[in-house]
Amino acid sequence: MSIFLEPVLEIYITNECNLSCGNCNRFNNHDFQGHYYWEDHAEDFEKWSSRIDAKLITIIGGEPTQNPGLSDWAKNLRRLWPSTAIMIQTNGITTLSRQRHDMWRDYRVGWGISVHDPKMKSKLSQQWTVEGLPNDNIIDDYKFTTATIQPTVSGFRVHQSNPDAAFDVCTVRFSHTIFQGKLYKCPVTALLPIFCQQHNVEMTDQQRQLINQYQPLSADCSEEELQKFVMDRKMPIPQCTLCPESNLFSQVVLSPRPLKNKILS
């Protein structure tokens, strides 16, 4: 029997984005590079499909429409989770037209639109109302909270917080993420090590050790390990100390970027 992860299971497929939103909680506003492709971890997903399920699976980034392999992700996730709602989470900036129909017709994969500018909500709502498709999920993401990564003069830094306090205010604490075939508690535990490889992040030895100590679950994990992951999902972990313990909501500052891979038109 599959273990149910609530409320959503995220599948992270790209670090790249066509916007640069201040305080992005997945660091995609800091020249974060790299796409991830289905075939690289297909065997892991085959195994996960018989072990975990969710009310909703979201394909996220970055901006997932930047990934040239997006259709492969949609097709294969639908094949493995035939009865689960699956949605591509996009900022809605890229014009989609035909591909939107194709994704729903071929794979029954819908779209969620994160509106990062309140002035654009009406326009995006009109653009995303297409006859014959289910109503898309328009999410008001006008504000982001204080991010884990904070710019400094020479690079970036992380926080030194009380882990319980940081977990209490965390907006992604239940964003359980499959990344490179492994299951992570949250996007920070998945992406921070990769970000540190690409950028200069000022850390103490203890902070760097914390990052390296986190062990995601592999698809071959024991039933006991998976059960413990589910039981502990509402508890902080030591790595929470790297995140802010008091969130200051800030207006999203949009900075458009040119599309590197315009696969949707």
Percent of the chain whose predicted confidence (pLDDT) is above 90: 63
Q: What is the pTM of this model?
A: 0.89
**In this predicted model, what pLDDT tens digit does every residue of 232-243 receive, in sequence order?**
999 999 999 999
Q: How far is CA 26 from CA 3, 14, 16, 22, 129, in A?
A: 26, 10, 10, 11, 28
Domains of the chain with CATH codes: 3-251 (3.20.20)
Is residue 96 scored above 90 in pLDDT?
Answer: no
Q: CA angle, 23 as apex, 17 and 25 as ends, to 5°? A: 70
Give the bridge partners for 89, in sequence order.
Answer: 112
For the ranges 17-26, 64-73, 135-144, 169-178, which has the lowest average pLDDT? 135-144
Confidence of residue 263 (pLDDT cuts 50, 70, 90): very low
Q: What is the DSSP string of 31-42?
A: ----B--GGGSH
Is residue 138 scored above 60 in pLDDT?
Answer: yes
**In this predicted model, what pLDDT tens digit does every residue of 161-186 receive, in sequence order?**
999 999 999 989 999 999 999 999 99
Q: Judge whether 77 and 108 are in contact, CB under 8 Å.
A: no
**In this predicted model, what pLDDT tens digit does every residue of 212-259 receive, in sequence order?**
999 999 999 999 999 999 999 999 999 999 999 987 665 555 555 654
Confidence of residue 7 (pLDDT cuts 50, 70, 90): confident
In the chain, % helix, strand, coil (3-state, to 5) comes to 30, 20, 45
Instruction: Of 22-26, 46-50, 121-125, give the range with the top mean pLDDT.
Output: 46-50
Confidence of residue 139 (pLDDT cuts 50, 70, 90): low
What DSSP character marks residue 53? E
State the pairing for strand pair 250-251/143-144. Answer: antiparallel
**What pLDDT, on the 0 to 100 scale, is given for residue 201?**
95
d(CA 68, CA 39): 13
**In this predicted model, what pLDDT tens digit does every residue of 55-89 receive, in sequence order?**
999 999 999 999 999 999 999 999 999 999 999 99
Confidence of residue 140 (pLDDT cuts 50, 70, 90): low
**What pLDDT, on the 0 to 100 scale, is given for residue 192?**
96
Between 104 and 41, residue with greater pLDDT: 41
Q: What value does the mean pLDDT take over residues 197-223?
A: 96
Tokens of 40: 């690289």
Q: Judge whether 116 and 250 are in contact, CB under 8 Å.
A: no
**What pLDDT, on the 0 to 100 scale, is given for residue 23?**
83
Is residue 48 scored above 70 in pLDDT?
Answer: yes
Is residue 50 scored above 90 in pLDDT?
Answer: yes
What is the pLDDT of the chain when averaged over all its residues? Answer: 86
**What pLDDT, on the 0 to 100 scale, is given for residue 260?**
46
**What pLDDT, on the 0 to 100 scale, is given for residue 123?**
75
Give the bridge partners for 66, in sequence order.
Answer: none
Is residue 118 scored above 80 in pLDDT?
Answer: no
